[in-house]
Amino acid sequence: MRVAVLNDIHGNLPALEAVLQEVRREGADQIVVGGDVLPGPMPRETLALLLNLDLSVHFLYGNGELAVLAQMTAPDPSAVTYWGVSGGGTLPEQFREPIRWTARQLPQYESLLAGWPKTVSLQIDGLGDVLFCHATPRSETEIFFEHTAVEKLRPVFAGVNASLVVCGHVHMQFDRMVEKIRVVNAGSVGMPFGPSGADWLLLGPDVQFRHTSYDLEKAAARVRATSYPQAREFAETNILNPPSKQKMLEAFASAELIEKFS
């Protein structure tokens, strides 16, 4: 069995379309969508594409889905204290309209999103038991990187019996060990930190880090044509000119294992 892992799509439909073409060429049997399909500029279209695939697809939630769900279910959206972190506080100004806009696009998907699990486990040929999560096995918001000290990560992965853990959330691919557990990050399909394109994983019988190129100018134009509140910014900073991995590592330097929106 070969499994494609698509994390952090963030409503970037052109990136997802390009990746799915490659997934089919590679003959993947199943797909794991590892959270943060949302928010983003094309949420309805992105969900519809994923839900109508003729492959077996496993979904799990990320902080993005929970932020959108919180807006959907709130009698007073301005009072919501979960916006992608769980530390409390109302939604910061710069995140308000994108998350609320996304929530308004998806009323018919509320029960579906609410039913996604926190983790998924699969047995994959050549890799054994594989645990999929969005950020860490215990949290959808914790942040860690390839250089994070093992001592800090021991309690995070305590009790995990899988030989391989696949995560996302920080939008950067990496491969590391936490004692006897191999931990890999699939990167981001829709908002990668690093070269323009789309990052994902192909699992079985080994771990393959994949990067898919697509027509960035055309994709940016499609995003700008949406009514997403930050459409131009998304097109420029997430498709045409994404920040470098080093720049984002510096930005996150003081945020390891601190809950943040990403």
Q: Mind listing the pLDDT tens digit for each residue in 175-212?
A: 999 999 999 999 999 999 999 999 999 999 999 999 99
Per-residue b or e along 141-169, where b marks 16 or more CB atoms closer than 10 Å to that residue's CB: bbbbbeebeeeebeebbeebebebbbbbb
The sign one gets for the Cα dihedral 137, 142, 147, 152 is negative
From the candidate CATH numbers 3.60.21.10, 3.20.80.10, 3.40.50.880, 3.40.50.1000, the one assigned to the domain spanning 3-252: 3.60.21.10
Tokens 């027509």 found at: 215
Rounded mean pLDDT, 32-55:
98
Residue 66 in contact with residue 92, Cβ under 8 Å?
Answer: no
Q: Is 166 helix (H, G, I), strand (E, B) or coil?
A: strand
> What single-letter amino acid sits at 184?
V
Q: Is the pLDDT of residue 40 over 80?
A: yes
First to last CA, the chain: 31
Nearest to 169 by CA among 197, 189, 196: 189
Residue 113 phi, psi dihedral angles, 5° rounding: -60, -40
Q: Where are the domains of the chain?
A: 3-252
* Whole-structure pTM value: 0.95
pLDDT of residue 251: 84
Residue 261 in contact with residue 95, Cβ under 8 Å?
Answer: yes
- The runs of H, that is alpha helices, within 150-214 are 150-157
Q: Is the pLDDT of residue 72 over 70?
A: yes
User: SS3 helix, strand, coil % of the chain, rounded to 5?
Assistant: 35, 20, 45
**Token digits for 242?**
């994404």
Residue 131 in contact with residue 166, Cβ under 8 Å?
Answer: yes
CB-based contacts of 127: which residues, under 8 Å, 6+ apart? 163, 164, 203, 204, 205, 206, 207
Q: Mind listing the pLDDT tens digit for each residue in 151-164?
A: 999 999 999 999 99
Q: Mind listing the pLDDT tens digit for each residue in 204-240?
A: 999 999 999 999 999 999 999 999 999 999 999 999 9
CA-angle at 170, arms to 168 and 173, nearest 5°: 65
Please report, for residues 160, 172, 198, the alpha-carbon distance to residue 243 in angstroms, rounded to integers and kept in the order given: 33, 11, 13
**Hey, what's the torsion of the CAs at 234, 117, 44, 6, to 10 degrees?**
50
